[in-house]
Amino acid sequence: MMRMTETVKQLVIINVIFYIGSNTIAPAAYDYLALHYPLSEGFRWWQPITHMFMHAKMPNLMHIFFNMFGLIMFGSALEHFWGWKKFLFFYISCGLGASLLHMGMTYYEIHSLMAKVSDLNLTTSEIDYLLKANHFQHFDTNNKIIPGQLNDILEKVNANQDQYNIIAKAAMEFQTTAVGASGALYGILVAFAFMFPNAELMLLFLPIPIKAKYFVPVLVLGDLFMGLQGGSIFGGGGGIAHFAHVGGAVTGFLMMWFWKKNQFNDRRWD
């Protein structure tokens, strides 16, 4: 195993500090640093970067553990050959690419869902309210809707249960935030496969060595498939930003292809 390089070590330290701090000292950090949907009131311009240093809340330790483990394993090899400037530029770029595709696909998903209920003739202000509303707070313990603005809108447009379910799903997409270094890590994996195509990798629960040039494309295609299906590649339902993974991988691929084509080398980063 290659020794952890300096920039990778600093990234791991920053991630751990963010994780501990946001879960103990300043839980409100999730509202400011996680990636919100761009049209949400919670969106801030810095979130496409800061979300890379946030991870799933405690007691979920696996999210940050696997991301940092992958960063150490594969990132150290890249930094060793590239140097810290080129590596850090690549890492941040892949994270930004991940956030852009994630936001783009979220925009597409929300608008596709709302198009399915276009016959309700909702006004712009009504759509805005429905997407921003906390739908869980509008039902009582018997799962009956509580009188109020949400109920008034649904009754006015005569929405049925199926139409409401579509609206609620769009609202969940609108309000869900994204966190994690996974997108940047997928870019790192792609670069590793470019540079060390015959290196043998394996999943922890499937200890069969597979060459990187096969392992990484299959992993990315699996995320693409599960993103389109709306499931989880490792089970347990949703909650995984598959298109962020794909976005990081595609960004990494394009950068590696461009650098190879233009013969970029370490001397350009001195």
Domain map (residue ranges) of the chain: 6-108+176-269, 109-175
DSSP state of 22: I
Q: For 156-174, b where at least 16 C-beta lie within 10 A, e where not — what string? A: ebebeeebbebbbbbbebb
Identify whether the C-beta of residue 177 lies closer than 8 Å to the C-beta of residue 168. Answer: no
Coil, helix or strand at residue 43: coil
Identify whether the C-beta of residue 267 lies closer than 8 Å to the C-beta of residue 203. Answer: no
CA atoms within 13 A on the CB side of 165: 3
Its pTM stands at: 0.90
For the stretch 217-254, pLDDT in tens is: 999 998 888 888 864 433 333 468 889 999 999 999 99
Assigned CATH topology for domain 6-108+176-269? Rhomboid-like fold (1.20.1540)
CA atoms within 13 A on the CB side of 267: 1
Identify whether the C-beta of residue 251 lies closer than 8 Å to the C-beta of residue 244. Answer: no
For the stretch 47-89, pLDDT in tens is: 999 999 999 999 999 999 999 999 999 999 999 999 999 999 9
**Residue whose entry in the numeric block shows the structure tokens 């553990």:** 65
